[in-house]
């Protein structure tokens, strides 16, 4: 193995023979717990949009949100849209339904719900 080339315009971490960065994963999804929170709205969803905008997400990628709020899937999709429009680093572009293959789904539940007590006091 030859030593890394270091200099202006050369990144020693990017080897021209390394083909791993050009591969795209098989269809997959991401589950975000607490999807209605600030971290998700300001950081996670815009980052996912940036990846999709650069073509780095696989076809059929799905985003699943888990939250306690009583929202419908359409409400969740609107929150994703508004968050991306406001916080994405890349320029926001409206996509037609055929070019945007990301699916959105929201699941509502409370993780603090406990089963009934079996204590016989």
Is pTM beyond 0.95? Reply is: no
pLDDT band at 99 (very low <50, low <70, confident <90, very high): very low
pLDDT at 107: 77
Environment class of 53 (CB within 10 Å of its CB; exposed 0-12, middle 13-18, buried 19+)? middle
Question: What's the token pair of residue 65?
Answer: 């949100």
Domain ranges of the chain: 29-108
Environment class of 50 (CB within 10 Å of its CB; exposed 0-12, middle 13-18, buried 19+)? middle
Reported as a single tens digit per residue, the pLDDT across 4-31 is 556 666 665 666 666 655 555 677 888 8
- More confident call, 29 vs 118: 29
Instruction: Indicate the helix (H) or strand (E) that contains 85.
Output: helix 73-87
Express as a percent the part of the chain with pLDDT over 90.
8
| Domain 29-108 of CATH type 3.40.50.720 | yes
Q: Say yes or no to pLDDT of 77 above 50.
A: yes
The CA-based dihedral angle spanning residues 68, 31, 58, 50, taken in that order and rounded to the nearest 10 degrees: 70
Q: Say yes or no to pLDDT of 40 above 70.
A: yes
């Amino acid at each position: 193995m030859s030593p890394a080339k270091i200099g202006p315009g050369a990144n020693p971490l990017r080897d021209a023979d390394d083909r791993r960065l050009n591969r795209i994963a098989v269809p997959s999804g991401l589950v975000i717990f607490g999807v209605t929170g600030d971290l998700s709205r300001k950081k996670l969803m815009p980052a996912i949009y940036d990846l999709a905008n650069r073509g780095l997400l696989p076809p059929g990628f799905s985003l699943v949100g888990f939250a306690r709020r009583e929202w419908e899937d359409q409400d969740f999709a609107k929150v994703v849209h508004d968050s991306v429009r406001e916080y994405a680093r890349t320029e926001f572009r409206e996509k037609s339904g055929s070019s945007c293959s990301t699916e959105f789904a929201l699941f509502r539940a409370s993780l603090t719900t406990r089963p009934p007590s079996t204590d016989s006091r």
